């Protein structure tokens, strides 16, 4: 089944509202084994809407449209649907009763505008909305299915989950779409692609790979399609095992894993503790760590040593070190890591110092230069990185890289 999602509303086209409905619907249609071939946005304009919906019916088997079913004058979807399906609006006494009960329970007065929400095209199947006043509308025409639902996210989700999905499942969809995301850190997209090029070239036809880069992380998404769910699962598992042989040292997790949660689990399971000393990242590493519930079990605290006098006065970085090597140096970051570990009495410590930008760089140390040190019970290791010229991306990349170095060295 070829599906299409259409979001209706000027607020989406002017960027006033983020189109979260479309991404949620796409994800859940995929989980149901229905492939989404197109996502589009149409304005609150009758001619544009009629044209866009007509084209969608020609190319897709299933169309789900969100928005434009409210009680105000700019909600024109129902009238356009009447033109599209050759119908007329009629008052549904059943829906009107539901709306009356909805308003009565909340102590609201039923206005004429809200009463009109019980008017539906006479050739559609109404879908009961248990948490709102606008019903969903289900049309069938020439083996095509068209569903219109409110644009309010929680109403849309309720209608899809409890009204639309059961109907779609009854159609006997036999295909499956499975996704598995491999999370990597430490290698850029192009370098990663070069390493796995031969592996990628030999993927079977029903298995596709997508590269999803973001600052500090590259996600590799495998998508398998077929009629045998077990076979698809085994295929994905087999290909991931092959991938681990090639880039295993760069893989830190799968699907919804995060570096901070994985590091947290490693520390918690080993009974170890952590502290951080941050300069250019300004506390972002500590923020990531403490975003994980239960992090107080293993994270003792952090110090942001942004100024040199704090490095020397609180972290006991030697003045001579700063004079001879500078704040952004291997020598400084090692002292930061080792000294915060001693002061906070933790098993591990992470320290970061760098030039986030956009200014402050030199020919010897350009913007994006970052030194990271990890102090462990047995050793201290350090590494230099060149991340680029964007301040926020540098902070993100430095923080994630530091967490990954820590992950690798937790014993």
Domain boundaries defined on the chain: 2-169, 176-254, 259-409
What the block records as the tokens of 2 is: 């070829």
Q: Which of 167-176, 350-359, 361-370 has the lowest mean pLDDT?
A: 167-176
Nearest residue to 123 (alpha-carbon basis) of 149, 94, 85: 85
pLDDT attached to residue 113: 86
The label of the residue with tokens 């190319």 reads 59
Nearest residue to 184 (alpha-carbon basis) of 239, 243, 224: 243
Three-state SS at 181: strand
pLDDT at residue 174 tops 70: no
Q: What is the CATH number of domain 2-169?
A: 3.40.980.10
pLDDT at residue 88 tops 70: yes
What pLDDT digit, counting tens, does each position of 340-362 carry?
Answer: 999 999 999 999 999 999 999 99
pTM of the model: 0.83
Q: Which CATH architecture has domain 259-409?
A: Alpha-Beta Complex (3.90)
The rounded distance, in Å, linking the Cα atoms of 96 and 112 is 11
Angle between helix 46-59 and helix 77-85 axes, rounded to 10 deg: 50
The DSSP symbol for 87 reads -
The rounded distance, in Å, linking the Cα atoms of 328 and 372 is 10
pLDDT at residue 6 tops 80: yes
pLDDT attached to residue 401: 98
In terms of DSSP H, where are the helices of 125-275?
A: 153-159, 165-169, 189-195, 197-201, 229-247, 259-270
Report percent pLDDT > 90 for the chain.
91
Backbone angles phi, psi at 179, to 5 degrees: -120, 145
CATH of 176-254 given 3.40.50.10470, 3.30.70.2860, 3.30.70.940, 1.10.3720.10: 3.30.70.2860
pLDDT attached to residue 71: 85
What are 350's strand-pairing partners? 276, 374
pLDDT attached to residue 73: 81
The rounded distance, in Å, linking the Cα atoms of 351 and 154 is 43
């Amino acid at each position: 089944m070829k599906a299409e999602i259409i979001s209706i509303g000027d607020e989406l086209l002017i960027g006033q509202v983020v189109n979260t409905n479309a991404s949620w619907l796409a994800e859940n249609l995929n989980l149901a084994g229905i492939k989404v071939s197109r996502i589009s946005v149409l304005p609150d304009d009758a001619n544009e809407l009629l044209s866009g919906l007509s084209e969608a019916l020609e190319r897709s088997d299933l169309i789900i449209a969100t928005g434009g079913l409210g009680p105000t004058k700019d909600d024109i979807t129902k009238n356009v649907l009447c033109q599209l399906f050759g119908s007329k609006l009629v008052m549904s006494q059943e829906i009107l009763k539901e709306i009356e009960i909805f308003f009565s329970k909340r102590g609201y007065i039923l206005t004429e505008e809200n009463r009109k929400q019980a008017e539906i095209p006479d050739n559609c199947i109404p879908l009961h909305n248990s948490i709102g006043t606008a019903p969903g509308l289900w049309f069938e025409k020439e083996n095509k299915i068209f569903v219109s639902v409110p644009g309010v996210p929680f109403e849309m989700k309720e209608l899809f989950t409890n009204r639309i999905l059961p109907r779609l499942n009854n159609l006997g969809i036999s295909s499956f779409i499975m996704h598995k995301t491999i999370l990597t850190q430490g290698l850029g997209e192009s370098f990663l692609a070069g390493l796995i090029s031969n592996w990628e070239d030999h993927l079977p036809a029903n298995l596709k790979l997508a590269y999803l880069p973001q600052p500090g992380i590259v996600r590799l998404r495998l998508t398998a399609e077929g009629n045998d769910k077990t076979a698809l699962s085994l295929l994905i598992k087999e290909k991931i095992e092959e991938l681990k042989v090639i880039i295993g040292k760069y893989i830190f997790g799968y699907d919804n894993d995060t570096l901070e949660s994985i590091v947290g689990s490693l520390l918690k399971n080993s009974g170890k503790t952590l502290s951080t000393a941050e300069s250019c990242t300004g506390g972002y590493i500590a923020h990531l760590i403490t975003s994980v519930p239960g992090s107080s079990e293993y994270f003792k605290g952090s110090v942001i040593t942004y100024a040199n006098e704090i490095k020397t006065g609180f972290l006991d970085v030697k003045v001579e070190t700063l004079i001879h090597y500078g704040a952004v140096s291997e020598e400084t970051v090692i002292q930061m890591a080792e000294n915060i570990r001693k002061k906070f009495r933790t098993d591990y410590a992470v320290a970061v110092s760098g030039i986030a930008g956009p200014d402050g760089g030199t020919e010897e140390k350009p913007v994006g230069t970052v030194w990271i040190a990890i102090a462990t019970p047995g050793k201290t290791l350090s590494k230099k990185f060149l991340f680029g010229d964007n301040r926020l991306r540098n902070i993100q990349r430095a923080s994630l890289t530091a967490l990954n170095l820590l992950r690798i060295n937790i014993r």
